[in-house]
Amino acid sequence: MRVKGIVLIVLIALLLASLGIAAPGKTSPASQRAFQKMASLAGDWEGKDEHGMLAKTNFKVVAANTAVMETLAAPGMEEMVTLYSVNGDKLSIIHYCPTNNQPHMEATPPEGEVKDLVFEFKDARNMASPAAGHQSKLALRFDDADHFTEIWTWTQNGKDVLMTFHFARKK
Protein backbone atom coordinates (compact mmCIF):
# COMPACT_ATOMS: atom_id res chain seq x y z
CA MET A 1 0.00 0.00 0.00
CA ARG A 2 2.84 2.40 0.86
CA VAL A 3 4.44 2.00 -2.59
CA LYS A 4 1.10 2.57 -4.35
CA GLY A 5 0.58 5.77 -2.36
CA ILE A 6 4.05 7.01 -3.27
CA VAL A 7 3.52 6.18 -6.94
CA LEU A 8 0.19 8.02 -6.93
CA ILE A 9 1.76 11.10 -5.34
CA VAL A 10 4.63 10.93 -7.84
CA LEU A 11 2.26 10.71 -10.81
CA ILE A 12 0.15 13.63 -9.59
CA ALA A 13 3.26 15.76 -9.02
CA LEU A 14 4.60 14.78 -12.42
CA LEU A 15 1.34 15.65 -14.14
CA LEU A 16 1.32 19.08 -12.54
CA ALA A 17 4.98 19.69 -13.38
CA SER A 18 4.64 18.40 -16.93
CA LEU A 19 2.12 21.09 -17.86
CA GLY A 20 4.98 23.57 -18.26
CA ILE A 21 7.54 21.05 -19.47
CA ALA A 22 5.49 19.83 -22.42
CA ALA A 23 4.65 23.27 -23.80
CA PRO A 24 5.12 23.47 -27.59
CA GLY A 25 8.30 25.12 -28.81
CA LYS A 26 10.22 24.70 -25.57
CA THR A 27 12.02 21.46 -26.37
CA SER A 28 14.99 20.79 -28.60
CA PRO A 29 15.40 18.00 -31.16
CA ALA A 30 18.24 16.59 -29.03
CA SER A 31 16.10 16.47 -25.89
CA GLN A 32 13.25 14.83 -27.84
CA ARG A 33 15.66 12.18 -29.23
CA ALA A 34 16.98 11.52 -25.73
CA PHE A 35 13.45 11.22 -24.36
CA GLN A 36 12.53 8.78 -27.13
CA LYS A 37 15.61 6.72 -26.21
CA MET A 38 14.35 6.58 -22.62
CA ALA A 39 10.82 5.68 -23.81
CA SER A 40 12.31 2.83 -25.89
CA LEU A 41 13.29 1.17 -22.60
CA ALA A 42 9.61 0.51 -21.76
CA GLY A 43 9.22 -2.96 -20.29
CA ASP A 44 10.94 -5.27 -17.83
CA TRP A 45 14.71 -5.65 -17.44
CA GLU A 46 16.91 -7.98 -15.39
CA GLY A 47 20.58 -7.71 -14.63
CA LYS A 48 23.30 -7.72 -12.05
CA ASP A 49 25.16 -5.22 -9.98
CA GLU A 50 28.95 -5.00 -9.77
CA HIS A 51 28.93 -7.83 -7.18
CA GLY A 52 26.90 -10.21 -9.36
CA MET A 53 23.70 -9.73 -7.34
CA LEU A 54 20.35 -9.80 -9.18
CA ALA A 55 18.71 -6.45 -9.95
CA LYS A 56 15.45 -5.68 -11.75
CA THR A 57 14.02 -2.56 -13.27
CA ASN A 58 10.92 -1.58 -15.18
CA PHE A 59 10.28 1.41 -17.43
CA LYS A 60 6.83 2.72 -18.25
CA VAL A 61 5.81 5.71 -20.37
CA VAL A 62 3.29 7.75 -18.34
CA ALA A 63 1.41 11.06 -18.15
CA ALA A 64 0.27 11.26 -21.78
CA ASN A 65 3.75 10.35 -23.07
CA THR A 66 5.45 13.24 -21.24
CA ALA A 67 7.41 11.14 -18.74
CA VAL A 68 9.10 7.80 -18.27
CA MET A 69 8.85 6.13 -14.86
CA GLU A 70 11.55 3.69 -13.79
CA THR A 71 11.02 1.37 -10.82
CA LEU A 72 14.34 -0.11 -9.70
CA ALA A 73 14.68 -3.07 -7.34
CA ALA A 74 18.34 -3.23 -6.33
CA PRO A 75 19.87 -5.87 -4.06
CA GLY A 76 19.62 -5.04 -0.36
CA MET A 77 17.57 -1.86 -0.95
CA GLU A 78 13.94 -0.88 -1.00
CA GLU A 79 12.35 -0.08 -4.35
CA MET A 80 13.25 3.27 -5.94
CA VAL A 81 11.31 5.32 -8.51
CA THR A 82 12.86 7.73 -11.01
CA LEU A 83 10.86 9.98 -13.32
CA TYR A 84 12.45 11.16 -16.59
CA SER A 85 11.03 14.11 -18.56
CA VAL A 86 12.02 16.77 -21.08
CA ASN A 87 12.81 20.22 -19.72
CA GLY A 88 13.63 22.50 -22.67
CA ASP A 89 16.95 21.40 -24.16
CA LYS A 90 17.66 19.03 -21.25
CA LEU A 91 16.36 15.79 -19.82
CA SER A 92 15.39 16.07 -16.17
CA ILE A 93 14.93 13.41 -13.51
CA ILE A 94 13.52 13.32 -10.03
CA HIS A 95 14.66 10.27 -8.07
CA TYR A 96 12.41 9.05 -5.26
CA CYS A 97 14.80 7.37 -2.86
CA PRO A 98 14.15 5.05 0.10
CA THR A 99 16.08 7.62 2.19
CA ASN A 100 13.04 9.90 1.65
CA ASN A 101 14.82 12.62 -0.30
CA GLN A 102 14.19 13.48 -3.93
CA PRO A 103 17.28 14.51 -5.89
CA HIS A 104 16.65 16.44 -9.11
CA MET A 105 19.24 15.95 -11.86
CA GLU A 106 19.63 17.12 -15.46
CA ALA A 107 21.41 15.84 -18.55
CA THR A 108 22.27 17.76 -21.71
CA PRO A 109 21.68 15.29 -24.55
CA PRO A 110 24.09 15.03 -27.49
CA GLU A 111 23.13 16.45 -30.88
CA GLY A 112 23.57 13.09 -32.64
CA GLU A 113 22.77 9.53 -31.69
CA VAL A 114 22.09 9.03 -27.99
CA LYS A 115 24.57 6.45 -26.69
CA ASP A 116 25.07 7.94 -23.21
CA LEU A 117 23.23 10.30 -20.89
CA VAL A 118 24.80 11.75 -17.76
CA PHE A 119 22.47 13.32 -15.22
CA GLU A 120 24.13 15.74 -12.79
CA PHE A 121 22.73 16.87 -9.42
CA LYS A 122 20.88 20.21 -9.49
CA ASP A 123 18.98 20.26 -6.19
CA ALA A 124 16.90 18.06 -3.91
CA ARG A 125 13.67 18.08 -2.01
CA ASN A 126 13.44 16.89 1.58
CA MET A 127 17.21 16.73 2.11
CA ALA A 128 18.34 17.84 5.56
CA SER A 129 21.74 19.15 4.41
CA PRO A 130 24.14 18.86 1.45
CA ALA A 131 26.10 16.29 3.47
CA ALA A 132 23.07 13.99 3.80
CA GLY A 133 23.23 10.81 1.74
CA HIS A 134 21.70 11.18 -1.71
CA GLN A 135 22.04 10.12 -5.33
CA SER A 136 24.12 12.83 -7.01
CA LYS A 137 24.73 11.46 -10.49
CA LEU A 138 23.31 8.91 -12.92
CA ALA A 139 25.16 7.80 -16.03
CA LEU A 140 23.27 5.70 -18.58
CA ARG A 141 25.03 3.81 -21.38
CA PHE A 142 22.88 2.31 -24.13
CA ASP A 143 24.74 -0.70 -25.55
CA ASP A 144 21.98 -1.81 -27.95
CA ALA A 145 18.18 -2.14 -27.97
CA ASP A 146 18.30 -4.95 -25.41
CA HIS A 147 21.21 -3.96 -23.11
CA PHE A 148 22.05 -0.87 -21.06
CA THR A 149 24.06 0.10 -17.99
CA GLU A 150 23.18 2.42 -15.11
CA ILE A 151 25.92 3.89 -12.91
CA TRP A 152 24.53 5.68 -9.86
CA THR A 153 26.70 7.89 -7.65
CA TRP A 154 25.71 7.99 -3.98
CA THR A 155 27.19 10.99 -2.14
CA GLN A 156 27.35 11.30 1.64
CA ASN A 157 29.57 13.59 3.71
CA GLY A 158 31.49 14.54 0.56
CA LYS A 159 32.36 10.94 -0.37
CA ASP A 160 31.09 9.15 -3.48
CA VAL A 161 30.18 5.48 -3.86
CA LEU A 162 29.34 4.07 -7.30
CA MET A 163 26.63 1.48 -7.88
CA THR A 164 26.67 -0.14 -11.32
CA PHE A 165 23.87 -2.20 -12.85
CA HIS A 166 24.08 -4.05 -16.19
CA PHE A 167 20.62 -4.82 -17.57
CA ALA A 168 19.21 -6.99 -20.37
CA ARG A 169 15.64 -6.75 -21.65
CA LYS A 170 13.46 -9.52 -20.24
CA LYS A 171 11.93 -11.49 -23.08
Q: pLDDT averaged over the chain? A: 89
- More confident of the two residues 18 and 153: 153
The structure's pTM equals 0.84
What pLDDT is recorded for position 20? Answer: 42
What pLDDT is recorded for position 130? Answer: 87
Nearest to 7 by CA among 88, 83, 85: 83
Find the range with the poorest average confidence among 24-28, 39-43, 132-136. Answer: 24-28
- Confidence bin at 12 (pLDDT 50/70/90): low
**Any idea what the CATH number is for the domain that residue 122 is in?**
2.40.128.20
Q: What is the DSSP letter of 145?
A: T
Per residue in 111-135, pLDDT (tens digit) is: 999 999 999 999 999 999 989 999 9
- Confidence bin at 3 (pLDDT 50/70/90): low
- Confidence bin at 42 (pLDDT 50/70/90): very high
What is the distance between the alpha carbons of residues 56 and 54, in angstroms, rounded to a whole number? 7
> Domain total for the chain?
1
11: containing domain: 2-169
What is the distance between the alpha carbons of residues 116 and 137, in angstroms, rounded to a whole number? 13
